[in-house]
Amino acid sequence: MSAARPRRAEPLRRPWGLWGLRGAVLTYLALMIAVPLLAVIERGFSAGLRAFWRELANPIAFDALKLTVAAAAITAAVNLVLGTLTAYVLARYRFPGRGVFDSLVDMPFAIPTLVTGVMLVVLYGPSGALGSWFHAKGISIIFARPGIVLALLFVTYPFVIRSVQPVLLEAERYEEEAAFTLGANRWTNFRRIVLPAILPAAGSGALLSFARALGEFGSIVVVAGNIPRRTLTSPVYVFGEVEAHNERGASAMSVVLLALSFGLLLLLDWRQRRRAEVLGG
C-alpha cells in the first residue's frame, strides 16, 4: 500500500500535463460562458449606474421583473411539492406503466419550448379542447397570467423529480423498514423518515427550476399575450428592447436576471458544500 501511494500521485506532479488540461478547460469555460456574460454586464453598465437604475425604474420594466419573479416563485413552490411526491411514487411504488411514466418525465427537456407554447395554446386557448370549457366559465388561462405559470410548470417539470429520485433510490431502506415494523403507516413513514432525507435535494431542484423559469422565453412569448404591465415577462421584455434598439434597457434587465440566477447558483453551491461537510464530518 505505501509503495502504491506515490505512484498514484505521480500524474499530479507532471505540471505541464495538468496545466494543459486545466488550461484547455478553463479557456473553454471562459470563451463559452464568462466572456459573453461579461459582455452583457459591460453593456448594462456602459452608461453608468444611474442610467442602469433608470432603465429598471421604468414601470414597464419593473412590472415585468415583478411578474417574472412571482411566476418563477409559484412554479418553484408547486414543483417542490408535486415533484417530490412524484419522485417518491416513482421510486417507492411498483405499478404498470411506471417505466413509461419515468421516461415521460424528461420529455419537457426534449421539446422545443416554442412547441410547448403552441401546444398549450391549442389545448387551453379560448377555442381549445380544455380552454373552451374554462372560457365558458369566464376563466382565461392562455394570454393571461395562469398561462405563464402553466408553461413554466411544463418546462421545469423534471428538475425536482430528477434531483430527488436518485437520493431515494440510493437511500438505505433499513430506517423505513424499522419504522414499518414499529407500526408507522406510509404517511408517517414519508413525513418522519423519508422527507428529512430528501428535503435538501428537493430544495436544490426547486431552486434550479426557479432559475430556469426566470429565463424562459420560447413558450412564454406564445402563451402570455405580452401586454406590458400585465403579461409581459422580463425575457420577452429584453427581446422587445433589443428589437427596438434599446440595448441599454435590454442589458440592464439581463444583468438583473443574471444576478438573480447567479445568486441562486451560489446559494445552491454553498448548501451542497455544507451538506457534504455535515455528511462527511
Partner 1 sequence: MLGSVSRGASRSAAGFLSLVLVAWASGGCRRETPAANESGLSAKKPVTLILGGYTTPREVYGKAILPAFQKEWQGTSGQRVQFRESYQGSSAQARAIVGGFEADVAVLSLEGDIDKIAQAGLITHDWKAAPHGGMVSTSIVVLAVRPGNPKKILDWPDLTRPGLNVLTPDPKTSGGAQWNINAMYGAALKGFAGVRKDDRAAAKDFLKRVFRNVSIMDKGARESITTFEKGVGDVAITYENEILIGRQAGQKYDYVVPRSTILIENPVALVDRYVDQHGVRAAAEAFVTFLHGPQAQSLYARYGLRPVEESVAKENASKLPAVQDLWKIDYLGGWKKVSQDLYGPEGAFTQVFSELGSKR
Please report, as ranges, the residues that interact with partner 1 according to CB under 8 A: 33, 36-37, 39-40, 43, 58-60, 63, 121, 125-127, 143-144, 159, 163, 204, 208, 211-217, 221, 225-231, 234-235, 238-245, 247, 250-251, 253-254, 257-258, 260-262, 264-265, 268-269
69 vs 208, which CB is nearer to partner 1? 208
Burial code (b: 16+ CB inside 10 Å, e: under 16) for 141-180 equals bbbbbbbbbbbbbbbbbbbbbbbbbebbeeeeeeebeebe
Rounded Cα gap, residues 70 and 26, in angstroms: 35
Q: Cell 421604468 maps to which residue? A: 58
Minimum Å distance from CB 268 to partner 1? 8
CA distance readout (Å), 102 to 95, 160, 162, 277:
11, 13, 10, 32
- The answer to whether residues 77 and 213 touch, using CB atoms and an 8 Å cutoff, is no
Cell numbers for 15? 505540471
Minimum Å distance from CB 127 to partner 1? 4
Cell numbers for 281? 464530518
Distance, CA of 157 to chain centre: 9
Q: Cell 461579461 maps to which residue? A: 38
* Three-state secondary structure string covering 49-93: HHHHHHHHHCHHHHHHHHHHHHHHHHHHHHHHHHHHHHHHHHHHC
CA distance readout (Å), 267 to 175, 238, 270:
30, 26, 5
Minimum Å distance from CB 63 to partner 1? 6
Q: What is the DSSP letter of 227?
A: -
Cell numbers for 181? 415494523
140 vs 175, which CB is nearer to partner 1? 140
Minimum Å distance from CB 135 to partner 1? 10
Amino acid at 146: P
